[in-house]
Amino acid sequence: MEAVVAAKPIIKVAALCGSLRKASFNRGLLRSAIKLCNDAVNGMQIEYVDIAPLPMLNTDLEVDGKYPPAVEAFRQKILEADSILFASPEYNYSVTPPLKNAIDWASRPPNVWADKAAAIVSTGGGFGGGRSQYHLRQIGVYLDLHFINKPEFFLNAFQPPAKFDSDGNLIDAEAEEKLKQVLLALQTFTLRLRGK
């Protein structure tokens, strides 16, 4: 008699990129993460959630407990996700304005970030976006987001050999393997938080 192996439950991950550029290397990291989930990480499904349509936070836009349609749709995507994957470029030692705006909209009552597992990846020059990650972790404390601690993923995009192609796609095998390890850690931590 064949042993029956229980399949891992599907974890729904909302992926957000702090850069709005189409050829953003950080967005390229998310494309690679989606591909990895399709090819090599069973039990996870990543959906890219575009933050570009969100208006700048303005509580005058909240009418009778309702938010603008783009905000309502974004909040629903976050609410339905089991965990969050941030690709957070670094602007002036911090997170980008579009990402902070998205975070703030989803934190309006009721806070739809609460009790979710999260991971951060980043790429850029120098420290590879690391300072934005530490600032995002600080913001996450108030949001009640639970970030994985290890492995960390910072990638210097400009140090040879080339890490991305001209369209912003990740082409570095070592970085791809590190990204896979982040996804596996996020999967394990999400299941732990859900008591699985």
Domains of the chain: 11-193 (3.40.50.360)
Which pLDDT score is estimated for 187?
97
pLDDT for residue 83 is more than 60: yes
Number of CB atoms found within 10 A of residue 77's CB: 17
Which pLDDT score is estimated for 28?
96
**pLDDT tier for residue 195 given thresholds of 50, 70 and 90:** confident
pLDDT for residue 53 is more than 90: yes
pLDDT for residue 3 is more than 70: no
* Per-residue pLDDT reduced to its tens digit, 84-123: 999 999 999 999 999 999 999 999 999 999 999 999 999 9
* Per-residue pLDDT reduced to its tens digit, 128-158: 899 999 999 999 999 999 999 999 999 999 9
pLDDT for residue 18 is more than 80: yes
* Per-residue pLDDT reduced to its tens digit, 166-193: 999 999 999 999 999 999 999 999 999 9
pLDDT for residue 62 is more than 70: yes
Share of the chain above pLDDT 70, in %: 95
Peptide bond connecting 55 to the previous residue in cis, omega within 30 degrees of 0 = no
Number of CB atoms found within 10 A of residue 69's CB: 9
pTM over 0.85: yes
Number of CB atoms found within 10 A of residue 160's CB: 6
pLDDT for residue 49 is more than 80: yes
The predicted model gives 52-79 an average pLDDT of 96
